[in-house]
Structure 1
Amino acid sequence: MGLRYANITLGIIRLDGDFSRNLTLQQCIHQGYRLEQYDLLYGKQQHVRAEYAQMTCYFMNRDSEPMHLDLLASDTTFAFRYHFPTSSNISAKYIVAENTTFNIRQSANDFQLLQPYDSPVPKYQTFYQPRNNRTKAHIGETYSATGFGLPAFFYTEADDQSYFVHLKETGFDGRYPISHISNATGANITLAFPDPADGNGMMGSAIPHSILPWSTPWRVLTIGTTARAIVEDTSVTDLAQPSEASNAAFVKPGVSAWSWWSNPNGDTNYTVTESYIDLAANQSWPYVLLDASWDQQTIDGVQVPLAVIHQRAESRGVKLWVWMNSAGVNNNASVVTSGPKDLLWQPSIRRQTMANLKANGVVGLKVDGIQSDKQEMVSYLLDILSDAADAGLMIILHNCMPPHGWERRWPNLLGHEGLIASEYYTNAATDYGSQMPENNVNEAFVRYPIGPADYSPGSFSQGLYPNDSVPTTDAHETALNIIIDSGLRILPDTVQAYERTVSPLIMSMLGAIPFAWDETTFLAGEPGKYFVVAKRAGSVLYLGAINGETTFISNQTHAASADWKPAQGVARDLTLDLWQAGYRVCGNSTVIADSAGSKIANATVGAGWNGSNMIHVHMEPFGGFAARFTLC
């Protein structure tokens, strides 16, 4: 297939037949229009209505075996999937290769943002921009021996027109693995299946297998002449399965306190847990998250049962989320000490565990250590979501693949990690912090648009990890809470920071930012440099802006080394025309802005703007801007 900005090569090779060549096109039939109309409990657009023209092309291979190609198109999105209809042969089929290849048109000013694939332990925790290179990679440059993960972002030019291209996938039913980009050369972007060694070499085969009928996931390209088409796109949930939850009344997005970021050993200390329960209560946050090894909590050497923790939280009006190891066979649960473990893999044990946790006041699970893209892992996670929905439990997934629209099918799914998150400030040996501002911006263009991000924004403390310090300003960290969508907004910093150091206006905003937006509007930005978005909920408008432009990062990754130097960036000034974006501000405002030469924000309450609605924004190096306005 030929498009203005790319050529697409199609084809599937099954173990029992070749559907990549010598195909006979029988006919293509226009199937009318596909209307997707649904509601989400959180995210960039809570009431979604999307329409796609649809067509099916019918092929026959040289052995007279059929394959269908389903095609969808909207103003900004093109999607396709392969479908194998019912056959009299009821044995399972195996796909040994998917030849789907995207040849993105190259141009003089093109670039790509690709995340090196961290196989065979896929957690999608690598940086889009190499540390030792301040220049964006051109389309086709290969610098990862294991390929690259999806989603993928490209910029190119054709016929004097700019094109921003976003490649992703959706529509998983548990019968196909997560794909990534193979280690190809040139501009050929070829899809590949997981490494057989992923999931500890367990979790079944790395290649897809199923009985017929069988549809692959949708391969989706979103295209625009600006990045607005990508940032505002809803195709990942549009083309996902509709909701299967019989009751979602128990799903309550909210803010959570969390001790692990500032004290990784704190979850075994009941006194620490009490302090974070009190923090949540004092800030009117509904949740506290107990992380790894929470089941080993003690006080004065005596183990504290979950029932006691629940009683303490309930007395303060706070509800519990708890960490759970996903293993199973997919990670080293047999040798690691972090628990609880070995309680989710077997269906009967999983369901009983969920029932017991629910009976002890737990409302959500953080399922960690997933680390596999294989088909059996996809099926396993969908089973967890289904059983959790039956038990009335919410879920976030950690150390896992990025989102694929499952939050539409199972609205109790509130977040995925599958990205570089604020945990990367907690490394004692390696200075990842220097790369974070730039990566925050890149994630806003590549990762955040496809679904919820378990990032835990709001890292204000500067001295907790001297070798991996937080270089961003308070305004940058506040703005991330607006930019990033998640049904569970986990705030990671210390009790002291939130109760004594951070501005009360920032704390008020962090507790009030909506979870479900009526609309999201991309205002301005450039990958690797800065990002600005507006989000509306009713008559309230929030602006979030971050500056990540980085001119220098030390090649020395250990901040304690004599030749290490802190990262350097540049300030940025912007003028935002809210009127042109469709908004008229005339009510009260809260503004969190950078102070010159300081990480501390200038937080103010004002009467709002009238007239031109021109907002002037100054961002310090690695700074930001966050604001709340009342609309006319």
Structure 2
Amino acid sequence: MKKMFLNRSLTVLIPAVFLMLTSCVAQNEELSLKSKDNLNKITLSLTQDGKLSYKVTRKDQVIILDSPLGLNFENNDFTSGLSVVKVSSIEEKREKYELKVANNKVADHIFKSKSITFKNSKGALMTIDLIAGQEGVAFRYKFTEQEKQTRVLKNELTGFHIAPNAKGWLQPYNKAGDYTPGYEDFYINVKPGDPINGARGESIGWCMPALFNVNEAKNWVLIAESGTDGAFPGCHLDPDSKDGIYRIAFAKNDEKYTLPLPDKGNAFPESNLPWIMPWRVIMIGDKAGDILLSTMITDLAPASKIEDTSWIIPGKAAWSWWSHPEDFTPEMYKKFTDVSASFGFRYTLFDAGWEKANKEGKIIDHALSKGVQPLVWGYSAEYFDAEKRKKRFKELAEMGVKGVKIDFWCSDRQEVMAALQGVFEDAAKEHLLVNLHGTTVPRGWHRTWPNFVTAEAILGTESYFYEPRFPEKAAEQNTVLPFTRNVAGPADYTPFALTFRKYKRVNTSVHELAMAMIYTSGIIHFADSEEVFNSLPNELKILIKEMPATWDKTEAVVADPGKSIVLSRKKDNLSYIIGINGTNSSLPVSIDLAKYGKGYSKFKIITEGKDPLMDFKVETFPITANRQYNVAPKGGFIIEFIK
């Protein structure tokens, strides 16, 4: 009797378990999305009480562990009690476009996309868009209904769960102050869960982009956001990464030291509906070089809103502030305009104090007479109000100004994100280029507004004035930033600073020169004096004259964040290999010259001279096969192929 009962129980139980497992598998497939190459996958999951999470895999290996999703509004909760209402069909779309400022001129990627709509316990709807491509995955929240009432978002649960054995490079997000947040801190090598330690100032979180080496060091991941506009603040990551979960955090109310922003108590995101929020982007690569070359942030940003971009031309500029920070005389500005003219630079940058100098010495007219286009400095508060901004841009354009460097934004609040979109748009109407300083990190904006050619948001060469730890840490940082900050968008590092400042440089001369070709920036603002430029060997003067400000094709030859980076760069008929060493030891590098020098008969190599801090050595050799180099500690090299 017992045996008969057991058999009957098993007969009922086994199909039930099978149906339950089949149902779970079906739901996972319904709530998941794979890239076209089937390598990258994002999967959403719902618990029995309706809590939402996701995970990311590559080649079926976990990249992002189960991580929380959800939104909590003042009057509506989407953190639990959720159920699936609708799953769209999978669509395929191609993003093919050209960038004015890029590692590779043309971006061309195919994405799979899917939208999943959930309802909460009140019956309110929330949709999550999923994207999967060969460079990673992304998701965003959106609300498609029409609703005039303003919604206030108190908390976003989104997290990124990183395995405990991973390693990361993260930048502290500094607390609001006179010059912060400005994304100008060191990238720190951390393990998931580590507290913030070693920041330049009091910090309240971690910045994005955030770089991790995961999956037993087999994969690299960069966490970022894209498509942020006036409908959302810029976001960072919460400082508490307990158990390796890095959660989204909003800009703070006190980020208003430099701008006429109201005190809200809490600067929560707010909008009426429909409301489309920014993409949460997870770039994935088998090598760090895959991350460096990724265009996923711009792939997800809106297409260019400027129909005719022929007037937007990347270039180089001389800049007086770094070598003469106290001299705002017309004579000094004119001297640096003449440097631009002698080196064939398209631009010259007039920094703070330029207006008085122009009244006294007509420095803009002098630049135009030399065939050099002037760029001018401005303070953010002057460009915050829309009407004042439009009037100011019109005045500058009528004066002959070609671009603006707008400084001291120091805020990620939603109002600032909206103002920046206004800056790009209003500047474009007057055919003005835009360079942001003291600012947030770009979020794909240089695709949407190609006149946005560069931004600071980087710990650059001005730190030789202000940061005692910079000389020792600069070389290491220079091998991290191309995989982090520069992936987000063009970076105004202001390279080539040979003169010793308050904190003495220890990087070699070639390392400093190579930075102008390692970083990608729509305008390269060269730091240093007329005397330094004129003292250079003739071969280096020619190199600086010919050096492009954007590239047609880039390959990562060596990609080891924190240690070394070697890039192959091509523009038209120019071809280079540039490398820097971020360590205190000599670094052996092997380069296949036959591969990268195909079509060229010989190459010129620039290395350190007798005094590594100041001197250069230039040698020319015929093209051979592999060649081994020992890159000097904190040193660099530049190879130029010659027809």
TM-score by length of 2: 0.85
Q: Match of 1:546, SS?
A: strand
Are 2:556 and 1:518 equivalent residues in the alignment?
no
**Residue 26 of structure 2: aligned partner:** none
Equivalent-residue separation in structure 2 for 1:515 and 1:449 (angstroms): 16
Give the distance between the partners of 1:595 and 1:125, measured in 2 at CA.
Answer: 32
Q: Report the counterpart of residue 405 of structure 1 in structure 2.
A: 444
Correspondence 1:586 to 2:600: yes
Q: Please give the alpha-carbon distance, in whole angstroms, between the structure 2 residues aligned to 1:251 and 1:619.
A: 37
User: After superposition, what is the alpha-carbon deviation per residue over 1:45-97, rounded to whole angstroms, capped at 9, x for unaligned?
Assistant: 1111111111111111111111111001112211000011123x321111110
The yes-or-no answer on 1:177 pairing with 2:216 is no
> Is the 2:509–2:612 Cα contact (8 Å) retained in structure 1?
no
Aligned to 1:570: 585
Residue in 1 that maps onto 2:246: 189
Deviations 1:413-434 (A, max 9, x none): 110111101111123x835222
**1:360 aligned to 2:399?**
yes
Q: Distance in 2 between matches of 1:255 and 1:537?
A: 15
Bigger shift: residues 583-592 or 51-60 = 583-592
- Partner of residue 373 from structure 2, selected from 316, 319, 324: 319
SS at match of 2:405: strand
Say whether residues 1:44 and 2:103 are aligned partners: yes
Residues 437-586 of structure 1 aligned to structure 2 (within 5 Å): 437-462=475-500, 465=501, 467-500=502-535, 502-549=536-583, 569-578=584-593, 584=598, 586=600
Secondary structure of the residue aligned to 2:480 is helix
Match of 1:430 among 468, 478, 488: 468
Is residue 2:326 matched to residue 1:277?
no
Q: Distance in 1 between matches of 2:591 and 2:609?
A: 19
Structure 1: distance between partners of 2:462 and 2:374: 21
Write the distance in 1 (CA, Å) between the matches of 2:629 and 2:453. Answer: 32
| Matched residue, 2:270 | 209
Aligned to 2:195: 142
Question: Quick check: 1:245–1:389 contact (8 Å CA) kept in 2?
Answer: yes
Separation in structure 1 between the aligned mates of residue 619 and residue 422 of structure 2, nearest angstrom: 47
CA displacement 1:231-284 (0-9 Å, x = unmatched):
110011111111111332221211100000111122x21111121111111111
2:86 aligned counterpart, secondary structure: strand
SS in 1 for 2:458: coil
Q: Is the 8 A contact 2:164 2:243 kept in 1?
A: no
Checking the alignment, whether the CA contact within 8 Å between 1:590 and 1:605 is kept in structure 2 is: yes
**Deviation at 1:216?**
0.9
Equivalent residue number for residue 71 of structure 1: 130
Deviation at 1:354, TM superposition (A): 1.2
**Is structure 2 residue 630 aligned with structure 1 residue 615?**
no
What are the equivalent positions in structure 2 for 1:592-611 lying under 5 Å apart? 592-595=606-609, 598-604=612-618, 606=620, 608-610=622-624
Distance 1:630 1:43 in 2: 24
- Written as runs of structure 1 = structure 2, the 5 A alignment for 1:59-208 is 59-87=118-146, 89-107=147-165, 110-120=166-176, 121-129=180-188, 136-143=189-196, 145-158=203-216, 162-184=218-240, 185-200=242-257, 203-204=261-262, 206-208=267-269
Instruction: State the secondary structure of the residue aligned to 1:362.
Output: coil
Structure 1 residues 583 and 36: CA distance shift in structure 2, 3 A: farther
Measured after TM superposition, the shift of residue 598 of structure 1 is 2.1
Tell me whether 241-250 or 595-604 shows the greater mean CA deviation.
Answer: 595-604
Q: How many residue pairs end up in the alignment?
A: 571
Per-residue CA deviations over 1:187-240 (Å, capped at 9, x if unaligned) read 010010011101238535521111111111001111122112201100111111
Q: Residues 23-42 of structure 1 correspond to what in structure 2 (within 5 A)? A: 23-42=82-101
- Aligned amino acid, residue 101 of structure 2: Y
- Distance, in Å, in 1 between the alignment partners of 2:506 and 2:301 is 38
- Matching residue of 1:564: none
Could you tell me whether the CA contact under 8 Å between 1:586 and 1:608 is conserved in 2? no
**Within 1, Cα distance between the matches of 2:319 and 2:121?**
59
**SS of equivalent residue, structure 1 residue 264:** coil
- In the alignment, the residues of structure 2 paired with residue 492 and residue 183 of structure 1 have an alpha-carbon distance, to the nearest angstrom, of 35
1:558-600 Cα deviation digits (max 9, x unpaired)? xxxxxxxxxxx211121122556x7635334232123466224
Question: Is the CA contact 2:509–2:616 (under 8 Å) kept in the aligned structure 1?
Answer: no
- Confirm or deny: 8 A CA contact 2:594 2:623 kept in the other structure: no
Q: Which moved more, 1:308-317 or 1:285-294?
A: 308-317
- Whole-Å Cα distance in 2 between the matches of residues 432 and 282 of structure 1? 32
Deviates more, 1:178-187 or 1:383-392: 178-187
CA shift for structure 1 position 380: 0.2
The amino acid of 1:192's aligned partner reads A
Secondary structure, in 3 states, of the residue corresponding to 2:87? strand
Once the two structures are TM-superposed, the CA of residue 620 in structure 1 deviates from its matched residue by: 1.2
| Percent identity of equivalent pairs | 27
| Corresponding position: 1:221 with 2:282 | yes
**Following the alignment from structure 1 to structure 2, what is the Cα–Cα distance between the partners of residues 105 and 220?**
18
State whether residues 124 and 401 of structure 1, in contact with CA within 8 Å, keep that contact through their aligned partners in structure 2: yes
CA contact (8 A) 1:286 1:319 kept: yes
1:447 CA displacement: 1.3
Question: Per the alignment, in what secondary structure is the counterpart of residue 124 of structure 1?
Answer: coil
Whole-Å separation in 2 of the counterparts to 1:33 and 1:23: 27
Residue 396 (structure 1) aligns with: 435
User: Any stretches of 5+ residues in structure 2 without a counterpart?
Assistant: 1-53, 57-61, 198-202
Instruction: Tell me the amino acid that sits aligned with residue 299 of structure 2.
Output: D
What is the identity, as a one-letter code, of the residue corresponding to 1:163? N
Shift of 1:16: 2.0
1:250 paired with 2:311, answer yes
Question: Which is worse superposed, 171-180 or 244-253?
Answer: 244-253
Matched to 2:316, the amino acid is V
Q: Which residue of 1 aligns with 2:639?
A: 627
Higher helix fraction (1 or 2): 2
Q: CA deviation at 1:389?
A: 0.3
* Cα RMSD (Å): 1.9
> 2-side partners of 1:94 and 1:149: how far apart?
23
| AA of the residue aligned to 2:496 | G
* 1:170–1:219 Cα contact (<8 Å) kept: yes
User: For structure 1, which runs of at least 5 residues remain unmatched after alignment?
Assistant: 130-135, 328-341, 550-568
Give the whole-Å Cα distance in 1 for the aligned partners of 2:306 and 2:515. 30
Distance 1:495 1:9 in 2: 55
d(CA) in 2 for partners of 1:592, 1:457: 17
Q: Secondary structure at the match of 1:517?
A: coil
| TM norm structure 1 | 0.87
Q: Distance in 2 between matches of 1:445 and 1:411?
A: 22
The answer to whether the 8 Å contact 1:594/1:618 transfers is: no
